[in-house]
């Protein structure tokens, strides 16, 4: 690991001021479970590390019926997993966390760090996009961005110089809606070889799908929004045949990597399979709320 300058601000204001003043490559550390691995591998060599893990004002999980769920950037994965309000209002987030890495990682790693790392195989970004979440960024001015628009390319996100992600905002769940996440793993806690997060809203009288958002992981350089599949589902009553059609469309649209865990062809087929699984589970949950 190459030498770097280290700073550890204790407030958001101090952190933003510092980030705006530093020159050269600057990286924010808010857990380091992913970033430090890249640094040890020589894939990342920032001149400055700004460690925000000690900013206690960013460590929170709050909920209101009007605004929904707000998660501070320094809330740990473990805190989200165990939060009673998350389990009650957004159980998919607790389920997601239960399958995210190991206990040690969930205890120290943060939501903000995961969101900003920009790994297309990561679970939280896909689930947040499926939930229509927004990210609150602070710099010279405050900026709110849709989670879907935050991801630009592999490990590249929409953070400008001097900006800091401070909060994830998850809106209230609409009535008659369900959301689910599924992923293919070698063993529990692994990064998904392929994953899917699905949100579905159904009309309680007709059973027709009124809205759908489906996001696939590790099948492109960013979380992949399966809009072609969504279009097939919206306005129709979802059945096995329709799910198969939606899955097939996604398998043809994705551009997955090939590695030791699976070929491009394998990942395409698993995109089809896991889209169906996640969407079917989301549909079942939406119907149970009728």
User: Which domain CATH number covers 231?
Assistant: 3.30.390.50
Q: How many CB atoms lie within 10 A of CB 56?
A: 11
The residues facing 107 across adjacent strands are: none
Residues 63, 143 share a domain: yes
DSSP E strands in the chain: the ranges are 5-7, 26-29, 48-51, 61-64, 68-72, 134-138, 142-146, 151-153, 156-157, 164-170, 177-184, 194-202, 209-217, 224-225
Residues 242, 155 share a domain: no
Evaluate the CA torsion angle 57, 63, 66, 67 in order and state its sign. Answer: positive
Give CA 199 to chain center in angstroms.
14
Q: How confident is the model at residue 55 (pLDDT cuts 50, 70, 90)?
A: very high
Residue at a domain's end among 35, 51, 67: 51
Residue at a domain's end among 138, 170, 202: 170
Structural tokens at position 124: 């939280």
Residues 190, 134 share a domain: no
Residues spanned by the domain of 21: 5-51
Residues 138, 64 share a domain: yes
The predicted pLDDT at position 290 comes to 57
Residue 289 pLDDT > 80: no
DSSP designation for 168: E
CATH of the domain at 93: 3.30.465.10
The pLDDT tens digits for 6-24 are 999 999 999 999 999 999 9
Residues 166, 74 share a domain: yes
Q: Percent of the chain, pLDDT > 90? A: 90
Residues 222, 143 share a domain: no
Residue 68 pLDDT > 90: yes
Give this prediction's pTM. 0.96
The pLDDT tens digits for 238-250 are 999 999 999 999 9
CATH of the domain at 15: 3.30.43.10
Distances (CA, A) of 256 to 69, 253, 263: 32, 10, 8
Q: 91-98 and 123-130 are packed helices; what angle lies between their axes, rounded to 10 degrees?
A: 170
Residues 233, 142 share a domain: no
Angstrom distance (rounded) from CA 85 to CA 176? 19
Residues 219, 114 share a domain: no
Residue 276 pLDDT > 90: yes
Angstrom distance (rounded) from CA 171 to CA 64? 10
Q: How many domains does the chain have?
A: 3
Residues 155, 67 share a domain: yes
Residues 208, 155 share a domain: no
Residues 99, 47 share a domain: no
Distances (CA, A) of 165 to 12, 78, 189: 10, 19, 25
19 CB-side CA count, 13 A: 24
Residues 245, 208 share a domain: yes
Angstrom distance (rounded) from CA 138 to CA 1? 29
For 193, the 3-state DSSP assignment is: coil
Residues constituting the chain? 290
Residue at a domain's end among 153, 170, 187: 170
């Amino acid at each position: 690991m190459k030498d770097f300058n280290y700073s550890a601000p204790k407030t958001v204001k101090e952190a933003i001021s510092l980030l705006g003043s530093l020159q050269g490559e600057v990286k924010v550390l808010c857990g380091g479970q992913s970033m430090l691995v890249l640094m040890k591998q020589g894939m990342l060599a920032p001149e400055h590390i700004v460690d925000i893990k000690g900013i206690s004002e960013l460590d929170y999980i709050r909920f209101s019926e009007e605004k929904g769920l707000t998660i501070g950037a320094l809330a740990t994965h473990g805190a989200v997993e165990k939060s009673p309000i998350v389990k009650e209002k957004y159980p998919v987030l607790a389920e997601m966390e239960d399958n995210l890495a190991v206990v040690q990682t969930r205890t120290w790693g943060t939501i903000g760090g995961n969101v900003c790392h920009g790994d297309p195989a990561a679970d939280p970004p896909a689930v947040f996009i499926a939930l229509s979440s927004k990210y609150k960024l602070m710099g010279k001015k405050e900026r709110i961005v849709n989670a879907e628009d935050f991801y630009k390319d592999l490990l590249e996100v929409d953070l400008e110089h001097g900006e800091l992600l401070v909060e994830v905002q998850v809106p209230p769940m609409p009535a008659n809606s369900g959301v689910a996440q599924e992923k293919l793993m070698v063993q529990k806690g692994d990064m998904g070889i392929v994953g899917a997060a699905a949100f579905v809203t159904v009309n309680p009288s007709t059973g027709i799908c009124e809205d759908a958002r489906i996001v696939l992981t590790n099948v492109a350089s960013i979380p992949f929004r399966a809009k072609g599949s969504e279009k097939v589902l919206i306005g129709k009553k979802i059945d096995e045949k329709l799910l198969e059609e939606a899955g097939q469309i996604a398998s043809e649209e994705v551009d997955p990597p090939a590695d030791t865990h699976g070929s491009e062809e394998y990942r395409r087929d698993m995109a089809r399979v896991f889209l169906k699984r996640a969407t079917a589970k989301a549909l079942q949950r939406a119907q149970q709320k009728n």
